[in-house]
Copies of this chain bind each other. A is one copy, B any other.
């Protein structure tokens, strides 16, 4: 009736041993009944389940992971959850993961390569089954290469390190920026500005984020194609809302101030609006504004903001799917998923044509 031998040190909280004893079966049988694998008689199953219930048994998944080699956990290395864009990406990602029985460990990198490297190390040590990463730099990807070589399932989202052979889920930032600016040009604007992100790494070197860069390149190309100039003053560098406000305020105070300003992301657009208020300019009569990313507040500013909307939630959800498939089939060919952006015309662009 008591097949197995009591482990020498009794565990705190009941283990499968206790359940087995309580049910009068072996540990193997109890494990089979509880884990839903192998074959167990109906009778045994009922007894084990009742015993587990009585004892308040909770399976120890770290022990399980030890044996199966799977943690049923995914990692997410993103810049900052408190950034609304990433918050939605993460929501999509956790939903996708959860649907397949996976949990997710969240790590914020603040766009810092060192933090990303450290976070990747931690996730690796925790043996997560797969990792989502929005790389902090498109240049520093060695740690990701190493992870990949070790067989780590990896998916890049929002941005990607060129040449890194992983699944990728992005939007076409270049195209979106390009088309948006084309529209504004078509509306008759010739002086269009777009402050650009300038992040300093700990070494003082510029840490360019590919997403922003691509949007900006789309802007530059659309301008060039229309024969329009982009003086340096129209593309000032800044980091964060306050700096954007500052450089934009200066830009809008110039004699040749732009007639339209493009916010390359949520926080940039906010900084631009701050500047417009600081300069006491009317939108869109005196200056037009358009931005990237359709957040909740774009319809409560007056006039409502015209923006490029990107499917943040879907980006995360799609990345989860890709990662899950990668875990299933490590050697299947990699895919790059380019999700569509949408131009949302509202009232913040004046028609000069």
Listed in ascending order, the chain A residues whose CB lies under 8 Å from chain B are 12-13, 56, 58-63, 65-66, 71, 73, 80-84, 87-88, 90-91, 94-95, 98, 103-108, 121-127, 146, 150-151, 241, 267, 270, 273-274, 277, 295-297, 299-302, 313
Contact = CB atoms under 8 A, between A and B. Distances in A.
A250 to B, nearest CB: 19
Contact of A66 (B63, B88, B300): B63
A299 B274 contact: yes
23 contacts: A13-B151, A58-B121, A58-B125, A58-B150, A61-B126, A62-B71, A63-B66, A66-B66, A73-B105, A80-B91, A82-B84, A82-B87, A82-B313, A84-B87, A95-B108, A98-B107, A103-B105, A104-B106, A106-B106, A241-B296, A277-B300, A295-B297, A301-B301
A90 B12 CA distance: 31
B56 A146 contact: yes
A126 B104 CA distance: 12
B62 A126 contact: yes
B87 A127 contact: no
A127 B267 CA distance: 38
Contacts of A98: 107
Contacts of A60: 125, 127
Contacts of A94: 81, 106-108
B103 A104 contact: no
Contacts of A151: 12-13
A22 B295 CA distance: 54
* Shortest beta-carbon contacts, A-B, top 5: A297-B297, A82-B91, A87-B87, A61-B125, A273-B300
A311 to B, nearest CB: 13
